[in-house]
Structure 1
Amino acid sequence: MASMLRKALVAGLALLVIAAGCGAWFGSEASVQVVHYGTSNTYVLATGDGTVTLTETHETTKPGIYWLEWTGSFTMLGDVVSRSPGKVTRRVLLGSTPSLGTPGYFGNVPPGDPKVAWGIDFSEVMIPTELGPAPAWHVPGKGTTWFVAVHGQNGRRKAELKVLPVVHELGLPYLDISYRNDEGAPRSPDGLLHLGDSEWRDLEAALRRAQQLGATRFVLYGTSMGGQIVGQFLARSGLARLVDKVIMDAPMVDVRTTSEQGARNYHLPAFIAALSDLVVEWRTGVDVDQLSMSRYPPKVRPPLLLIHTSPDTEHPIEEARGLVATGRRLSWDIRFEEFPQGEHTEAWNVDRARYDRAVRAFLATDRSRNG
């Protein structure tokens, strides 16, 4: 009997170790695996007078402004006007009306490029990074202070287009960059994301290219992991003192807090997050603890507009609040805009008027350096 009990105990411990290892590996994959998206997630069930009816999903029932993309076209959709079992009808704000039965992708970022999304002319420039050329969109403007946008983990440049109309209205030259492992950009040596620990050097390369094109000062804009990239740039780059202002939308402020949230999302025990971070460090060589802007704030700290939604389940609101607390301790000028609705990076979608107003006011103050 004792022998059988020992065998059962050993087997149970072995299963626990295997389960923990699998959970940790899964968590590390969510952190550093490169993913490219593009599949449909809804279907057009009907069209009406200025409306489109879609299959009912968690995404298609969200309040606010979103986009439906399908082969060769798109439409901007407003709030839900009616719902019935399995169906949700939204108002068409801009763009084409899809045909009945069209499969499409319902998402929170604009389609295409600056011209497709907003009718704003642009050119594509290549940034000579240390790994090879990476494409960027350039919208010309007035003066020599450039607005440089950095998207998040496994995102695309189009994710940064929500802020473009305000930037363009104010006349700031706009540069929307890509970085290692993006589509069209060079692959990192290990083929993995480094959570900002190495990607910041591609942002630095973009600023050097902008200098060649006439830039002398910068405003940096980072969403999600793009915020961490901006933070690491401010901590490590010799060009950081050329940055006048920073805007971060739902940034990855603290990687460990993000990992803990990821474990909660998948109903995994808390220790899996710590194991996952260890695996990330083993696979990438990244010091996860150093990727905490609240515990290790950057040496250069320009005025910061920090935007975050309270319901965010990818980078929890506690990350932003922790950075605000750090700002108070260091007399870092941080303006915090907390939105009560919206999921990750959806503050603009749920309240475009407030978002644009906050960005406009932040950028419009003390712009004497922009000539």
Structure 2
Amino acid sequence: MAGVAVGGTAALASGGGSFAAAAYFARRVLTPDARRPDDVVVRAADAHSITLDTTAETVVPGRYGLWLEEGEGHARVGDVLELDAGAGRVRRELIAVDRGVLAPGPARWNQYFHGSPPDESLDLPTEHVTYDGELGAMPAWVVAPGGVPTTRWAVLVHGRGARREETVRALPPLLAEGWTCLVPTYRNDEGVPSGPDRRYALGLSEWRDVEAAMEYAVARGATELLLGGWSMGGAIVLQVLDRSPRSSLVSRVLLDAPVVDWGDVLAHHARQHHLPRPVGSLARAMMRRRWGHRLVGVHEGVDLALTDWVRRADELHHPVTIVHSADDEFVPFGPSLALAQARPDLVTFHEWRLARHCKEWNTEPERWEAIVREFASG
């Protein structure tokens, strides 16, 4: 998201249009992507392996998925079997073709590994429900241990522009510890009500949709809540803890590659694309101040200072476990580590290597699930 946005903005800024560049950057950061383009090429496949063009994603060890046929099909791939850097090809284990036809041509990398709801991906009894959000009916999945809801509910929040399938990897360890899992949607997700401005607020409005999901869990008998969040889902969860009266029911928080400080994320992408610092600062001001709202198309101001939980570390009151890779190319792990260092009484940090953004489970699933089980137990 931001990498693409900054790349286009840098070209504008180099031409002297700093004001226009800042507005463009801010709008791209806050605007949901209209479509998810294919980003890998399948060169060949047989019953046991698949050959792809090498990219920064396709050469990393671990288990991943591939969306086929513009998302209608899906396959799962495993570790690298052979890397031919000279030819720009990588051959990986083919685990399964879940649906569709795997053939040479374009595809889209899927870090979730799972490409369907829990009843299809893991054969888990799944309720497809809706709950009443601020903007209307919001779809959700409910997965209970043995199909019988308990009084302990885990509410799992996916990231910006992601799908609910991102959270499926967390279900087995949480179910094993007796947690009923609720996977909600939030405004601007595909197929759900949009916000009044059709823009993301980077957690500053989306938290109300997650609070509504928590209310649904309470109405179903939940007396204790675990909140989990991936990437921007982490930023949403942190706002819930700060703003929702229901946060008193939250006993623990699990964050995977979370956005702990949106200002740091935007600055990272600006540096990567050589965007002048004043342009990034101006974009932040446009998001926050009333005079900039029309320029960036927001209904509510987006104050990134409210998302800086390193600065706000003293305001945390819940036990938090953070899993974050030092090799995360999209959301730098520095703020996650800094938050853990600022609040060692509440925050436990698990550092990964090799994994790219939100792909810690993919590279070391056994370690990831063991951490979640231990944190969720008791």
**Shared topology, TM-score over 0.5?**
yes
How do 1:281-360 residues align onto structure 2 when only pairs under 5 Å count? 281=288, 282-283=292-293, 284=298, 285-297=301-313, 299=315, 301-328=317-344, 331=345, 333-360=346-373
Which residue pairs with 2:283 in the alignment? 276
Q: Which amino acid aligns with 1:229?
A: I
Which residue pairs with 2:18 in the alignment? 20
Given the alignment, which residue of 21, 24, 33 partners 2:31? 33
In the alignment, the residues of structure 2 paired with residue 250 and residue 273 of structure 1 have an alpha-carbon distance, to the nearest angstrom, of: 23
Q: Which amino acid aligns with 2:335?
A: E
Which residue pairs with 1:254 in the alignment? 261
Tell me how far 1:36 sits from its aligned partner.
Answer: 4.1
TM-score (normalised: structure 2):
0.86
Say whether residues 1:101 and 2:100 are aligned partners: no
Give deviations 1:180-205, integer Å, cap 9, x for gaps: 11112211011111011111111110
Unaligned runs of 5+ in 2: 1-11
- Equivalent residues of 1:199, 1:229 under 8 A apart: yes
Which residue pairs with 1:4 in the alignment? none
Tell me how far 1:260 sits from its aligned partner.
Answer: 0.6
In the alignment, the residues of structure 1 paired with residue 328 and residue 89 of structure 2 have an alpha-carbon distance, to the nearest angstrom, of: 25
Given the alignment, which residue of 44, 54, 57 partners 1:59? 57
In the alignment, the residues of structure 1 paired with residue 102 and residue 123 of structure 2 have an alpha-carbon distance, to the nearest angstrom, of: 23
Say whether residues 1:139 and 2:143 are aligned partners: yes
Which residue pairs with 1:229 in the alignment? 236
In the alignment, the residues of structure 2 paired with residue 212 and residue 50 of structure 1 have an alpha-carbon distance, to the nearest angstrom, of: 47
In the alignment, the residues of structure 2 paired with residue 268 and residue 126 of structure 1 have an alpha-carbon distance, to the nearest angstrom, of: 42
Number of aligned residue pairs: give it: 349
Q: 1:260 to 1:210 in 2, by over 3 A?
A: same
Q: 1:38 to 1:112 in 2, by over 3 A?
A: farther
Given the alignment, which residue of 88, 91, 96 partners 1:89? 91
Secondary structure at the residue paired with 1:239? helix
- Equivalent residues of 2:13, 2:275 under 8 A apart: no
TM-score (normalised: structure 1):
0.88
Q: Which amino acid aligns with 2:270?
A: A
In the alignment, the residues of structure 1 paired with residue 308 and residue 13 of structure 2 have an alpha-carbon distance, to the nearest angstrom, of: 33
Given the alignment, which residue of 128, 140, 148 partners 2:155? 148
In the alignment, the residues of structure 2 paired with residue 267 and residue 286 of structure 1 have an alpha-carbon distance, to the nearest angstrom, of: 24
Give deviations 1:306-332, integer Å, cap 9, x for gaps: 11110222221111122112213xx3x
- Equivalent residues of 1:256, 1:274 under 8 A apart: no
Tell me how far 1:16 sits from its aligned partner.
Answer: 6.9
Q: 1:270 to 1:131 in 2, by over 3 A?
A: same
Q: Which amino acid aligns with 1:56?
A: T
- Equivalent residues of 1:234, 1:299 under 8 A apart: no
Say whether residues 1:125 and 2:120 are aligned partners: no
Give deviations 1:12-51, integer Å, cap 9, x for gaps: xx98794322332233134211114443223332223411
Give deviations 1:66-121, integer Å, cap 9, x for gaps: 10122443222111101231321100224459443253222201212112322222
Give deviations 1:224-273, integer Å, cap 9, x for gaps: 11111111111011100100110011111112111111101222123332
- Equivalent residues of 1:67, 1:106 under 8 A apart: yes
In the alignment, the residues of structure 2 paired with residue 184 and residue 249 of structure 1 have an alpha-carbon distance, to the nearest angstrom, of: 25
- Equivalent residues of 1:235, 1:297 under 8 A apart: no
In the alignment, the residues of structure 2 paired with residue 67 and residue 116 of structure 1 have an alpha-carbon distance, to the nearest angstrom, of: 15
Which residue pairs with 1:8 in the alignment? none
Q: Percent identity?
A: 31
Unaligned runs of 5+ in 1: 1-13, 367-371
In the alignment, the residues of structure 1 paired with residue 217 and residue 20 of structure 2 have an alpha-carbon distance, to the nearest angstrom, of: 44
In the alignment, the residues of structure 2 paired with residue 356 and residue 121 of structure 1 have an alpha-carbon distance, to the nearest angstrom, of: 20
In the alignment, the residues of structure 2 paired with residue 293 and residue 89 of structure 1 have an alpha-carbon distance, to the nearest angstrom, of: 41
Secondary structure at the residue paired with 1:319? helix
Q: Which amino acid aligns with 2:351?
A: E
Given the alignment, which residue of 177, 187, 195 partners 2:184? 177
Say whether residues 1:193 and 2:197 are aligned partners: no
Q: Which has the larger radius of gyration?
A: 1
Of 337-346 and 262-271, the range deviating more from structure 2:
262-271
In the alignment, the residues of structure 1 paired with residue 94 and residue 214 of structure 2 have an alpha-carbon distance, to the nearest angstrom, of: 38
Of 21-30 and 206-215, the range deviating more from structure 2:
21-30
Q: 1:38 to 1:159 in 2, by over 3 A?
A: same
- Equivalent residues of 2:13, 2:279 under 8 A apart: no
